């Protein structure tokens, strides 16, 4: 209860006389984050020799948020950017001598904003001194005469042309886009998408993982990123950086709570997905892995239309006949929208009894392989049922990171090896060729 809580003197001092208030100009890293309570915090950083020389903040929030911003920027100063980025809610709370439970989220917002400003600093450096927003706002580096973004289309307004150019500039910096699709829900599509993205990142690839399931985003939960928020820096959405090689963006970061239901109409979904592709500061990526909702509805259609080429679908199925029939529809959908199919993954393919070692084919086996042959699509492999996948997913720890040696871990490794072996402008054998 707030009334029982005794504020430490240091918290009162920071709330009444906050340090480091106001913007910094020039600045080397900046982010603005809105917390679930609707309050916003902005942080600016000046960095020299990899250390934070000056950090400042502003907020439209309460006294607790002022105290958190003040102490978080104090904590950041003189640390390296990596050290400041690692500061957490607990560090801010500890430095303030604690806060009442109902305002502890202020410390999370301050830590998240500081972290996002550090990531902004890092991503500016990653683009070799070139400001990401500048790179996104200029086509000067592209000298391709065949680029479809060069010329205005018939009946295209100024705004539409500018938006299309911005989208294509962004996508130009992503070498491969893999859309993970499934005919129906519950076959492990999100699990496959998350573990593919983590495996590719562990293999040294620069990876973005985009979760466009607006009705049930599960990627934040699978990767232990619940509660993280999207920040805006330089007019761009800054993805949540899970590791140096893996950036994650999900509609789940925008919903105040997992309990919140959002009613999305088709055009709104299209616009949100477009914004995720156009306005997210992905930087240069080797792979963008997209976790799309099941079926052949608005979201898969939107992403297939927007993502450009080269892009390819990875279709996830379970082995039983019912799932296979849905996947057949999914492959036809890809053909209809001229999206090449990179391959089929058969998930939950058999269970090896942990006690006796006998293999039990719970949902049959081999349906995915047979369908791959029937539709002339590459078969990428089979991932067995493994209870550790459920436990890891529920705990938010990437399965492939922890259980590399397991049969399922090896199956993911084989799939990723096949994908990497096909690196190039057209990554894998495909059923259809896309028109540009
Ligand atoms: P989808 O995205 O297709 O709806 P999910 O990835 O959310 O499916 O997976 C549904 C459930 O199945 C989750 O609880 C997940 O942990 C579990 N799961 C997925 N693949 C496997 C597997 N190979 N072995 C055991 N459980 C799995």
For the stretch 88-127, pLDDT in tens is 999 999 999 999 988 999 999 999 899 888 888 887 765 4
Rounded Cα distance between 92 and 72, Å, is 6
Place of tokens 């492990």: 188
- Average pLDDT of the segment spanning 295-323: 83
HSE of 377, CA atoms in CB hemisphere, 13 A: 32
Q: From the CA of 299, how far away is ligand 1's center (Å)?
A: 20
Rounded Cα distance between 335 and 324, Å, is 17
Q: What is the pLDDT confidence band of residue 272, given thresholds at 50, 70 and 90?
A: confident
Q: What is the pLDDT confidence band of residue 253, given thresholds at 50, 70 and 90?
A: confident
pLDDT number for residue 106: 92
| Residue to probe by mutation, ligand 1, list 188, 349, 390, most atoms within 8 Å of CB | 188
Identify which of 172, 186, 152, 121 has the alpha carbon closest to the alpha carbon of residue 318.
186
Identify which of 322, 262, 345, 269 has the alpha carbon closest to the alpha carbon of residue 300.
269
Identify which of 254, 243, 239, 328 has the alpha carbon closest to the alpha carbon of residue 290.
239
Count of C-beta atoms within a 10 Å radius of residue 157: 9
| Residue to probe by mutation, ligand 1, list 330, 393, 412, most atoms within 8 Å of CB | 393
Identify which of 373, 299, 374 has the alpha carbon closest to the alpha carbon of residue 337.
299
Token readout for 408 is 């399922």
Count of C-beta atoms within a 10 Å radius of residue 223: 24
Q: What is the pLDDT confidence band of residue 236, given thresholds at 50, 70 and 90?
A: confident
Q: From the CA of 96, how far away is ligand 1's center (Å)?
A: 41
Name the residue with higher pLDDT: 370 or 346: 346
Residue 44 burial by Cβ neighbours in a 10 Å radius (0-12, 13-18, 19+): buried
CB distance 348 to ligand 1 below 6 Å = yes
CB distance 100 to ligand 1 below 6 Å = no
- Average pLDDT of the segment spanning 421-431: 49
Count of C-beta atoms within a 10 Å radius of residue 153: 9
Q: Is the pLDDT of residue 207 over 60?
A: yes
H-run or E-run covering 302 = helix 298-306
CB distance 383 to ligand 1 below 6 Å = yes
Rounded Cα distance between 70 and 14, Å, is 6
Global pTM value = 0.69
pLDDT number for residue 13: 93
DSSP-assigned letter for residue 103: G
**Shortest-distance atom of ligand 1 to CA 294:** 3
CB distance 323 to ligand 1 below 6 Å = no
Token readout for 240 is 């949540």
Q: What is the pLDDT confidence band of residue 264, given thresholds at 50, 70 and 90?
A: low
Q: From the CA of 29, how far away is ligand 1's center (Å)?
A: 38
Q: Is the pLDDT of residue 425 over 50?
A: no
Three-state SS for 307? coil
H-run or E-run covering 166 = helix 158-172
- Average pLDDT of the segment spanning 65-71: 96
- Average pLDDT of the segment spanning 57-76: 94
- Average pLDDT of the segment spanning 376-393: 91
Name the residue with higher pLDDT: 422 or 377: 377
**What residues are paired with 285 via a beta bridge?**
174
**Shortest-distance atom of ligand 1 to CA 194:** 6
């Amino acid at each position: 209860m707030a009334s029982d809580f005794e504020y430490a003197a240091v918290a009162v001092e920071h709330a009444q006389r906050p340090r480091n208030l106001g913007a910094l100009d020039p600045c080397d890293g900046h982010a603005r984050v809105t917390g679930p309570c609707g309050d916003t915090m902005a942080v600016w950083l000046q960095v020299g020799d990899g250390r934070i020389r000056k950090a400042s903040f502003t907020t439209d929030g309460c006294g607790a948020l002022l105290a958190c911003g003040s102490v978080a920027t104090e904590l950041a100063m003189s640390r390296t950017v990596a050290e400041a980025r690692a500061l957490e809610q607990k560090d801010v709370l500890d430095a303030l001598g604690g806060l009442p439970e109902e305002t502890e989220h202020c410390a999370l917002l301050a830590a998240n904003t500081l972290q996002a400003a550090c990531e902004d600093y890092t991503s500016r450096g990653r683009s070799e001194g070139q400001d990401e927003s500048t790179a996104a706002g200029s086509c000067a580096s592209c000298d391709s005469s065949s680029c479809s973004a060069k010329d205005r289309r018939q009946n295209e307004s100024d705004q539409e042309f500018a938006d299309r150019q911005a989208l294509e500039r962004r996508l130009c910096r992503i070498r491969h886009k893999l859309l993970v699709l499934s005919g129906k829900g519950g076959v492990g599509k999100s699990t496959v998408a998350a573990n593919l993205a983590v495996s590719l990142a562990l293999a040294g690839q620069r990876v973005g993982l985009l979760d466009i399931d607006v009705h049930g985003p599960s990627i934040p939960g699978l990767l232990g990123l619940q509660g993280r928020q999207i920040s805006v820096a330089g007019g761009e959405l800054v993805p949540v950086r899970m590791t140096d090689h893996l950036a994650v963006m999900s509609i789940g970061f925008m919903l105040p709570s997992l309990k919140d239901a959002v009613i999305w109409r088709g055009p709104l979904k299209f616009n949100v997905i477009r914004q995720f592709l156009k306005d997210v500061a992905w930087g240069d990526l080797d792979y963008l892995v997209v976790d799309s909702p099941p079926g052949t509805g608005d979201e898969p259609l939107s992403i297939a239309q927007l993502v450009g080429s080269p892009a390819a679908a990875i279709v996830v199925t379970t082995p039983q006949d019912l799932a296979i029939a849905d996947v057949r529809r999914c492959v036809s959908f890809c053909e209809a929208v001229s999206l090449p199919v990179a391959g089929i993954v058969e998930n939950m393919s058999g269970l090896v009894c942990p006690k006796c070692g006998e293999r039990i084919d719970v949902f049959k086996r081999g349906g995915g392989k047979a369908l791959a042959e029937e539709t002339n699509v590459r078969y990428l492999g089979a991932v067995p049922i493994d209870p550790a996948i459920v436990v890891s997913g529920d705990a938010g720890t990437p399965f492939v990171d922890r259980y590399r040696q397991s049969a399922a871990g090896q199956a993911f490794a084989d799939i990723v090896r096949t994908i990497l072996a096909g690196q190039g402008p057209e990554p894998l054998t495909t059923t259809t060729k896309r028109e540009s």
